[in-house]
Structure 1
């Protein structure tokens, strides 16, 4: 049974915490020190400082935060725990900075007036854009307190359909627009649904059938107003490219000098000898 949603104040402080951690990680500070510093900057009347104390204890013993977040399931959502666990794997493909940015935007969205439709699309788009495991990710999403039993059942069903059926078709079949068309056609609605999405979402899904899912997500984000999913920024290779370019320029300059010397009458190879080597011996020294 999903836990109850938290007070908006808790989500505001969570968003602030994730923002602090994300910004200060750029200074290459250990997560343990960051949490200890951030604890004193949070509102003491919320439960977040106590949650941080538990995270710090687990972090000191195992070096991981996800196991502690899993035990604090009444405070952190399953999706938050899943993101942190993926960032703590050895693959290094999904970074903790990305997880913090995603959780920051989600917490700020929850602190206002979130809707199940908007939160589902945000979390599902996160899975798609970051190529996370659909089975584990959707299972974590289904346990969110904002989703009732019908939502949770449909999300779990979605695990078996992803990759086999177009996501736009699945969304349309779970919308009130599909229900409305069944009624107009005089067809029964028993055994159909559940109709979780509104007519607007159904029309958007219908208009994006057989298209790139990113177009569907972009349209849903515009109309539902949920946060834009953070994009993965390409790694800045400028610091690595400049020394490589300088070495290449030096090699080209050396080749040009050799070509100029050859045109003037030949290359003096004695200057390439090491000191004391390659010297022609004097006959008097023999």
Structure 2
């Protein structure tokens, strides 16, 4: 499937939806890799909340939080990560959006300032406190993901706690007051002890685990001694572009950064 998903900020009242995503206990109801369902699967007695997400190939899509996991012939309940690499980018983004909206809705039923029960904003995707007027929108955490390069080599790392995972690029959250380039330099210094010079922005990717926007860069190493911090990074090595280890999926921004570097270095 390669249909482009067109997201919507919010629509009240809800439009008639032809495609449905069902979520319960943090998992999606899937028939194989298919998580979009027709009207026949929707169980009205189990729906707690519904939200309009946007359109896919002209079909209005919605997500429904269920009070329980229902049994549907030929389907099972799956976590979002199991769909990574199994569905195309637009469908994965739609599934991630569905989970993020459901999580935002559940996490902000009560005001974090005064404790009053919140209400839906009449126009926007927001929950508003009727007592103190605090409005809470779905929150996205910006982070940087960077492939450090040194001529024809790139630095790949494994993260602590998942020692046998694939090698990947470094990454970290942007702190208050930082721009992306400052966060990039700080994270590289903290995680592996290296300094970076010029950086090149490659692209971005929403990453719904649980709700990041990843900004991807290639960054040239300018000095320092390679020394993984062992708290976040268990292992880090330089790899020549022609002898790379098993890479992350090309659907991930990390995989795209590494493949972009290899392509550029091989020219």
Q: TM-score higher than 0.5 here?
A: no
Q: What TM-score does the superposition give when structure 2 sets the normalisation length?
A: 0.27
Q: What TM-score does the superposition give when structure 1 sets the normalisation length?
A: 0.25
Task: Judging by fraction of residues, say which structure has more strand.
Answer: 2
Task: Judging by fraction of residues, say which structure has more helix.
Answer: 1
Larger-Rg structure: 1
